[in-house]
Amino acid sequence: MNAELDRFIRVYLSLEQAYDTSGYLRPTLHAFADEYVTAVKDGLESALRSREVSTEAYERLTDVEFCSEDSLYEYLNRMYAYLFLGREPQPTPPG
């Protein structure tokens, strides 16, 4: 996971923010510099391909718990589609 994705997850997908689906997340990300947005996108694509983030590591970053890696990656895939493919609605983690 690159530093930009790590920072994005810690700040915007943390327990305090993860369940807020008011619609601010995508416009907030895309308001940053193109370099940052591209780095988040590239980092998320890499993490999805390699499945390098364990449920334990994700919980350390966010305090959000997933019951399995499959459920974590389902959520991350839906988040990618929301952030970069314009899909609706913004996903929420389980719970």
Q: What is the domain extent for residue 55?
A: 3-12+27-85
Please give the pLDDT value at position 71: 97
Altogether, the residues listed in the chain come to a count of: 95
What is the predicted pLDDT for the residue at 94?
Answer: 86
Could you tell me the sign of the dihedral formed by the alpha carbons of 66, 5, 10, 29, in that order? negative
> Residue 34: inside a domain, yes or no?
yes
Number of folded domains that form the chain? 1
Instruction: Specify the pLDDT at position 95.
Output: 74
Contact of 80 with 22, CB cutoff 8 Å: no
Q: Is residue 19 part of a domain?
A: no
pTM (global) more than 0.85: yes
First to last CA, the chain: 25
**Is 20 contained in some domain?**
no
Output the six-digit token pair for 2.
Answer: 């690159």
Q: Which amino acid is at 11?
A: V
Q: Which residues of the chain have pLDDT under 50?
A: none
